[in-house]
Amino acid sequence: MKRQTSKRWVISILIILLLIAAIHLLSAITLDRQIEYVEIEYASPKISNQLDGYRIAFVTDVHNASSSRLEKIVERINSHSPNLLLLGGDFALSDKLKRDLSILSAIQAPDGIYGVEGNHDDCDMLKEAMEAEGMVLLENEGVSIVSGLYLGGLMDLWNREPNVESALAGADENDCVILLAHNPDTSMYYNTSQADLMLSGHTHGGQVNLFGLWAPALVHPRLGVTGFGQRFRSGWAQGHYGTDIYVSNGIGAHYLDLRVFARPQVVYLTLRSQPSQEQLEGI
């Protein structure tokens, strides 16, 4: 009798494990192959009424994304009429880099296209390719985009030496300051308190997640993704100095193009002079 009971438990556990595996496999081959267009808002008293409603598109971690995927992204972003396009690093290399940037250059952003390097980028190659398409690579540099809005961009945390002070040196104390840094861990090692908002990628939403809640690849710093566990897996977070950070899942993958409960993302950021009712209610 005890043996039969034990056998039933084993069978039940196996069935549950198979169901979990099936759910994750189904997600990987269906939903996780579709781009998610995430709408977020950022409100601050430093955002003037003139800047209220300002739209920023954020694309990061292009990696091995196909031309057809990028072309669809360009078409979709253009339909949302962004004021500014930001690129968060980790592009393809060699000829594919030029091709991808050429495709992305078709995004109609009247206030320009700016980007930073990622840990997989050759910064010299990236700078040359971006300049050829009329884009600007920010290397510990900043620029006043429009009155009241300042953008800084950092060198990659793993490749070179980020310098936040240099990147934000030109910002006025009344500016809304956005900091672009590929790796969100940067906010834990460098004083980013002068920035109101930081945009990052790098972690790919954990790449493979258990029910979208926990990513094994982010567990230990020796795995080489992040030194801070699940903190910067995806979405809203805060750095060591209190800087608000939004971490995008990105759109591609460097090695195996597999995502599980970590849909590829394009982010639409809207600036607001005051919080929406949903934000005030904590929704």
pLDDT digits (tens, 9 = 90+) for 248-283: 999 988 777 788 888 999 999 999 998 765 555 554
Q: Write the CA distances from 91 to 64, 68, 96, integer angstroms.
A: 8, 16, 9
Residue 183 has pLDDT above 90, yes or no: yes
Quick one: pLDDT band at residue 121, thresholds 50, 70, 90? very high
Residue 223 has pLDDT above 90, yes or no: no
Residue 1 has pLDDT above 70, yes or no: no
Quick one: pLDDT band at residue 212, thresholds 50, 70, 90? confident
Residue 201 has pLDDT above 60, yes or no: yes
Residue 158 has pLDDT above 90, yes or no: yes
Strand partners, 26: none
Q: Which residue has the higher pLDDT, 253 or 52?
A: 52
Residue 217: per-residue pLDDT: 85
- Poorest-pLDDT segment among 27-31, 123-127, 174-178, 240-244: 27-31
Average pLDDT rounded to a whole number, residues 78-92: 96
Residue 277: per-residue pLDDT: 55
Residue 283: per-residue pLDDT: 44
Average pLDDT rounded to a whole number, residues 82-106: 94
- Is the domain spanning 34-280 CATH 3.30.420? The answer is no
Residue 148 has pLDDT above 80, yes or no: yes
pLDDT (tens digit per residue) in 170-182: 999 999 999 999 9
Mean pLDDT over each residue of the chain, to the nearest integer:
90
DSSP line for the chain: -HHHHHHHHHHHHHHHHHHHHHHHHHHHHTGGGS-EEEEEEEE-TTS-TTTTT-EEEEE---TT--HHHHHHHHHHHHHT--SEEEE-S----HHHHHHHHHHHTTS--TT-EEE---TT--HHHHHHHHHHTT-EE-SSEEEEEETTEEEEE---TTTS---HHHHTTT--TTSEEEEE-S-TTHHHHS--TT-SEEEE-SSGGGSB-BTTTB-GGGS-GGGSS-SSTTTTSSEEEE-TT--EEEE---S--SSS---BS---EEEEEEEESS--HHHHTT-
Residue 279: per-residue pLDDT: 56
116, 181 Cβ separation under 8 angstroms: yes
Question: Considering the chain, what percentage of its residues have pLDDT values greater than 70?
Answer: 91
